[in-house]
Structure 1
Amino acid sequence: MSELSRRWTGTLVIVLAVALAGCAAQRTAAPGSRPDVSDPTRLVGMWKVTGAVADNGNIVGLTPSELIIYRPCGELMAAWNADVHGSFLGDISGSSGDCDPLAPVAWLEKTAAYRLEDGNAALLDVEGRTVALLVPASEPPRPDRESFAITDEFRRSFADTATLPSNLRPAGRAELVGRWVPVGGVQASPKPAHLELRGDGRYAAWDGCNGSGGGWTVKPAGTVLATAGVSTLIGCDNVPVGQWLSSARLAGFDGETLVLFDPQAAELGRLRRAKPAASSTGRSNSVTRGEAHVSASVPSNGSGGDRSAD
């Protein structure tokens, strides 16, 4: 090979190397971005439910403030929450007409995630299986009431979260299931505050005098999402464990201690796994399914009768 040929060959190798490096840089996500980021604001609108037996063909309205299922009997209203990592939760909180807010809405209760595809929204369970498909629908049945305006504040509410502190490991779904109690402090309530995370994606919280509940889910990186269910409103010196969870966007473990963080990675609270109780002297007080599936244990001298959520 001549000297000139060797020079051209060397030049070609360098050019190819630079070109490949440039392609790789284009494929690499920009600093601070994540490849699994979705836009929850695209869920706002009118949708037709397909693939769900109970509501197949029915219309669902997703406004910035609530989720509405339109049925022949009337309407079911639900709180909903989502994040940029594909998590989605909905929680029935009321009804109109003859619709029963206590009746299970299986597809909504199973939904833990969403995926936007070809203008549709696929609702997924915790295993990633499709529960229902939402396809675009026409104008809302009640255009005088629903507002689909997306404000800057609404957009900011879905801003990507910070990351867990490096000394914590992300919390996984399996190890979160169970009962948790706040770390430290002395609680005056006969029934101390606790947080019960169920394997079916529901939770029940008791802050010392008020019960609350809703849905919860977590991603492998420790990003957590929960709905804020209806709560009783008794004033007391409490530990707001339910509010910790509904405000949390990150969950990690510091050793055996569960730590919850807000979207800016500010610590909300710490919990430890509760020791199994040898016996129970209280009674169960459960707010109905239509009141956000609240379930809490209250002292035997507490007010209110027994009401089952299931």
Structure 2
Amino acid sequence: MTGPGGGCTVRRMLRRVAPGLAAVLVLALTACAQGPDDPGARTSNSPAPPDPGTGAASTAIQLVNLWRVSGAEGEGADTWLRLDVPEFQLWRDCGMIQGSWRATDTFFLASTYGASGECVTGSTLPRVVWLESVSEYRAVGDGWELRDSQGAVVATLTLDGGPDPIPTAAESFTEPPAITDRMREELRQPAPLPIGLTPATPENLAARWAPVGGTSDPHVVFDANGAWTGSDGCNGGQGRWAADGAGAFLATPGISTLVACEGTPVTSWVSQARWAVIDNGALRLLDANASELGRLGRD
């Protein structure tokens, strides 16, 4: 099976993706000549640690907890969503599904990358369509509504018990995560967008972009449906993205290939970006401190 970076194959791997997890399925897209355990291998869209001193605290920190999921299509009564930072664990009767999530005061995005327990089925990564359709959230009583891009309620999160322990995960995953200073920093609002920059809109972001003068075809494609795919020239990456039309931008990292190369870290720029602006036709991605990560042209 060809990965998003091209020329790679999908193979089943049992790896630890978080402390306390056992027998976790992660679909790693690897080149035939180099596996993810090679010393030179790297993940092209691994997010960098957040820098201190950005904006004010975000309400997104209130999402960090263990929530009962109600009203989500296809989910049973005993489904819980544990929102840690930057990972989530979705508890089903079969075990756990893992992924990454990002949030601002309004945006909420999630991407799936693995599973454990009986949720592992062959070499196929479980899909959580309802969760990956969420783009925003709203407070309702002591919980939250997760909504899609049209404002429709996709699921409701409430504080109501927790899952029973399973053999393939540490018991701590049945409890709410402890909120740390690092979590607060990672979810903090970004620094204000500098005056004079032209915010990118969802409409003009939806295209294929590439760094000027890049080699080996580094690029990113923002689909209008909220998915993105890209490459640093060797490694493919993918996830979800959202923009508010006023410059605010958010993206999740998802599955990535693991190949060492001298590419341009486009997928890393995407997953770290908090602002997107247009400058003389070029797309500039800025981090939480409003510093430029990279500049791309419409391809």
Tell me the TM-score range normalised by the shorter chain.
0.7 to 0.9
TM-score, normalized by length of structure 2? Answer: 0.73
Q: What does residue 266 of structure 2 align with?
A: 241
Residues 211 and 232 in structure 1, CA contact (< 8 A), matched pair in contact too? yes
Deviation at 1:160, TM superposition (A): 1.6
| Aligned match for 2:235, one of 207, 210, 231 | 210
Q: What does residue 179 of structure 1 align with?
A: 208
Q: What does residue 108 of structure 2 align with?
A: 88
Mapping for residues 3-152 of structure 1, pairs under 5 Å: 38-57=58-77, 58-83=79-104, 85-99=105-119, 100=121, 102-142=125-165, 144-146=171-173, 148-152=177-181
Aligned-pair identity in percent equals 38
Deviation at 1:230, TM superposition (A): 3.0
Distance in 1, matches of 2:86 and 2:290, equals 25
Residue 186 and residue 54 in structure 1: after superposition, are their counterparts in 2 closer, same or farther (change >3 A)? closer
Deviations 1:176-211 (A, max 9, x none): 11111112x352x2xx11101111211111111111
Distance in 2, matches of 1:139 and 1:194, equals 42
Deviation at 1:65, TM superposition (A): 4.2
Letter in 1 for 2:100: A
Residues 38 and 86 in structure 1, CA contact (< 8 A), matched pair in contact too? no
Paired residue secondary structure (1:98): helix
Q: Could you tell me which runs of 5 or more consecutive residues in structure 2 were left unpaired when the two chains were aligned.
A: 1-53
Q: What does residue 222 of structure 2 align with?
A: 197
Tell me whether 1:259 sits opposite 2:284 in the alignment: yes
Q: Max radius of gyration: which structure?
A: 1
Residues 115 and 121 in structure 1, CA contact (< 8 A), matched pair in contact too? yes
Distance in 1, matches of 2:226 and 2:214, equals 30
Mapping for residues 276-295 of structure 1, pairs under 5 Å: none
Deviation at 1:139, TM superposition (A): 3.6
CA RMSD after TM alignment: 2.1
Residues 68 and 162 in structure 2, CA contact (< 8 A), matched pair in contact too? no
Residues 91 and 163 in structure 2, CA contact (< 8 A), matched pair in contact too? no
Deviations 1:200-238 (A, max 9, x none): 211111111111111111123211111122322222211
Residue 114 and residue 135 in structure 1: after superposition, are their counterparts in 2 closer, same or farther (change >3 A)? same
Letter in 2 for 1:63: D
Q: What does residue 286 of structure 1 align with?
A: none
Deviation at 1:151, TM superposition (A): 0.6
Distance in 2, matches of 1:235 and 1:38, equals 35
Tell me whether 1:155 sits opposite 2:184 in the alignment: yes
Deviations 1:5-57 (A, max 9, x none): xxxxxxxxxxxxxxxxxxxxxxxxxxx999xx851121122211112121142
Q: Could you tell me which runs of 5 or more consecutive residues in structure 1 were left unpaired when the two chains were aligned.
A: 1-31, 275-310
Paired residue secondary structure (1:174): helix
Aligned residue pair count: 236
Paired residue secondary structure (1:243): helix
The answer to which structure has the higher helix fraction is: 1
Distance in 2, matches of 1:179 and 1:202, equals 12
Letter in 2 for 1:125: D
Paired residue secondary structure (2:177): coil
Distance in 1, matches of 2:71 and 2:128, equals 13
Residue 41 and residue 140 in structure 1: after superposition, are their counterparts in 2 closer, same or farther (change >3 A)? farther
Larger RCO (CA under 8 A, 6+ residues apart): 2
Paired residue secondary structure (2:172): coil
Distance in 2, matches of 1:258 and 1:165, equals 15
